[in-house]
Amino acid sequence: MAIDQIANWQIFAKHMEEYIRKHTVEKYTADGNAGYDLMALTNSPLICIWNVLKYAFRIWKNRMKPHDLEKIVHYAEMAWTMAEGKIIRNGEAGQRVPYKVIPSRNAIDR
């Protein structure tokens, strides 16, 4: 049986959009404005990579919690966005793309 990776990714992307809207956007916005967290303050994709490892090791040690896979994927996306899809090297001070939290629809409608 062939695996349709494109169709699977589209299903997963929809799931991730719903997860981010429900569990992330509200957490990192205040009164409709972007909030601050370590990624926003440092603009370093390496912080995101550290979080990917943190959640991956938690799964490896059989201590997985709900949404750990979603967190891994979301942090990987943030690292990719901050690095503009380029190779990330520890210790290099490259120009970083600021990562923006887009307000939820609820925050926009207020």
Q: Whole-angstrom Cα distance, residue 26 to residue 107?
A: 8
Q: Whole-angstrom Cα distance, residue 7 to residue 99?
A: 28
pLDDT score of 18 more than 80: yes
- Look up the domain containing 19 and give its range: 5-109
- What's at 7, amino acid-wise? A
Count structural domains, the chain. 1
* Tokens (6 digits) for 45: 């994709």
Q: Average pLDDT of 94-101?
A: 49
Name 34's bridge partners: 29
Overall pTM surpassing 0.95 (yes/no): no
Helix or strand run (H / E) with residue 34: strand 33-34
What mean pLDDT, rounded, does the chain reach?
79
Q: Is 35:28 a contact under the CB 8 Å cutoff?
A: yes
Q: Which residue has the higher pLDDT, 95 or 90?
A: 90
Percent with pLDDT over 70 in the chain: 67
Least confident of 8-12, 63-67, 89-93, 97-101: 97-101
